[in-house]
Amino acid sequence: MTDSPSPASATPEPITKTLKRFASLSREDKMQTLLAYSRKLEPLPERLRTIDRAAFHVHECQTPVDIIPEMRDGTLHFFADIDTRQSPTVAAFLAIVFGAINDHPPETTLALPSDFVSTVMSNIGLGAREVGLNAIVARLKRYALDAQHDRTESKVEGAKP
């Protein structure tokens, strides 16, 4: 009998790939990679620009940022409203984490390990940013829990006679 991890406890492939990539990069390579990722953040769609975003604001982050989740056919997709020119590091982090979790079920977001931020951002001298970035990850997980709960409730509602 082998001690392989159960599917529920295994880290999803997109997250594992991201963590391995960043763990292997030198400080200089991480900085270049972050700069490249800061340009990859998906812009906020027009349809979301006019909604009241007070509930989506991440207050713990020094950088003004709103994170808006959408549930699509059982998967989550996140959008962020952030000034990428003023905050390229946070924009890059968002592009990296969204690349690992967008268009996956909520369980993928919930599987983000507690050291995700420190692994991605280690050795680049931005320790002061970790509180806000961890708050972003916590917010993503809260949205994933809500989506998971809503999905479960709708299945229960659908099963009622």
Q: What is the pLDDT of residues 6-51, one digit of tens each?
A: 334 467 787 888 888 888 888 888 888 888 888 899 999 999 999 9
Domains of the chain in start order, with CATH, are 13-45+60-155 (3.90.1010.10)
Rg of the chain over Cα atoms, rounded to whole angstroms, equals 17
Q: 62: which DSSP letter?
A: S
What mean pLDDT is reported for the chain? 84
Q: What mean pLDDT is predicted for residues 45-66?
A: 92
H helical segments located in 6-129: 13-23, 27-38, 46-49, 88-101, 106-110, 116-121
pLDDT above 50: residue 83: yes
Confidence bin at 156 (pLDDT 50/70/90): very low
Helix (H/G/I), strand (E/B), else coil: 115: coil
User: In the block, which residue shows the tokens 């909520």?
Assistant: 106
Closest C-alpha among 127, 145, 70 to residue 103: 70
Q: What mean pLDDT is predicted for residues 80-84?
A: 93
The reported pLDDT for the residue numbered 19 is 80
Q: Which residues pair with 79 in a beta bridge?
A: 68
CB-based burial label for 127 (10 Å; 0-12, 13-18, 19+): exposed
Q: To the nearest whole percent, how much of the chain has pLDDT over 70?
A: 84
Q: Which residue has the higher pLDDT, 156 or 88?
A: 88
CB 117 within 8 A of CB 25: no
Helix 88-101 and helix 13-23, axial crossing angle in degrees, nearest 10: 140
CB 31 within 8 A of CB 124: yes
